[in-house]
């Protein structure tokens, strides 16, 4: 299920972090790692996640992963993420995250379902690495178009539906599928 509600801090106060425009990055050999339960609630965050996001471990464990959702990220990307995971498949995506101090940081995320001994999904695992500047430059115009489309609609559901349709059109103009589109970016920009 797509969660489009604002993130909530541990003590129940809505997140008030506003983007500052400052960009943060991390080393090319570092991985940001987190795990969630099936609802997207954080159960594990590594030290790189904590350092780059600016949150303490006690501030993220038990919180929805959308705690770090940047408002400049199209909901359609997260709609695709959740629908892909619901099918038991992995997804690669370029994501712009929001740190606790308002800085942002781009990642190339690889999100996969985690399975229990009985074969059922028990949560999700995400590894994120630093994307190339070229990949970010190429994905940003698409995300801006998707956000503009989302802003034209009065409800989150309508916004996601409209921008998902637009994303499918934009991807189809360049590749046969979202996966192929992302892999073309990875192949041309991440090597």
| pLDDT, tens digit (0-9, with 9 covering 90-100), for 116-141 | 999 999 999 999 999 999 999 999 99
Cα separation of 43 and 53, whole Å?
16
Q: For residue range 22-77, what is the model confidence (pLDDT) as tens digits? A: 999 999 999 999 999 999 999 999 999 999 999 999 999 999 999 999 999 999 99
Q: How many CB atoms lie within 10 A of CB 35?
A: 17
Give the three-state DSSP class for 23: strand
Per-residue pLDDT at 10 exceeds 80? no
- What pLDDT is recorded for position 9? 44
Per-residue pLDDT at 191 exceeds 80? no
> Mean of the pLDDT values across residues 165-191?
92
Percent of the chain with pLDDT over 90: 88
Query: Is 0.75 surpassed by the pTM of this model?
Result: yes
Distances (CA, A) of 8 to 15, 64, 78: 6, 7, 18
Average pLDDT, the chain: 91
- What pLDDT is recorded for position 123? 96
Per-residue pLDDT at 151 exceeds 60? yes
Cα separation of 115 and 125, whole Å?
10
Domains of the chain: 32-189 (3.30.450.20)
Model confidence band, residue 81 (pLDDT cutoffs 50, 70, 90): very high
Per-residue pLDDT at 190 exceeds 90? no
More confident: 5 or 145? 145
């Amino acid at each position: 299920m797509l969660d489009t509600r604002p993130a909530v801090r541990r003590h129940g106060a809505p997140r008030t972090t506003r983007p500052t425009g400052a960009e943060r990055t991390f080393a090319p050999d570092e991985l940001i790692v987190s795990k969630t339960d099936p609802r997207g609630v954080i159960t594990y965050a590594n030290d790189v996640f904590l350092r780059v996001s600016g949150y303490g471990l006690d501030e993220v464990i038990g919180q929805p992963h959308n705690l770090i959702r940047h408002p400049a990220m199209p909901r359609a990307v997260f709609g695709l993420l959740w629908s892909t995971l619901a099918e038991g498949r992995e997804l690669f995506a370029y994501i712009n995250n929001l740190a606790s101090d308002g800085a942002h940081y781009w990642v190339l995320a690889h999100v996969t379902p985690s399975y229990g001994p009985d074969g059922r999904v028990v949560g999700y695992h995400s590894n994120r690495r630093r994307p190339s500047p070229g990949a970010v430059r190429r994905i940003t115009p698409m995300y801006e178009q998707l956000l503009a489309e989302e802003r034209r609609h009065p409800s989150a559901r309508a916004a996601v539906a409209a921008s998902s349709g637009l994303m499918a059109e934009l991807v189809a103009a360049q590749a046969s599928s979202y996966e192929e589109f992302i892999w073309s970016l990875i192949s041309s920009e991440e090597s």
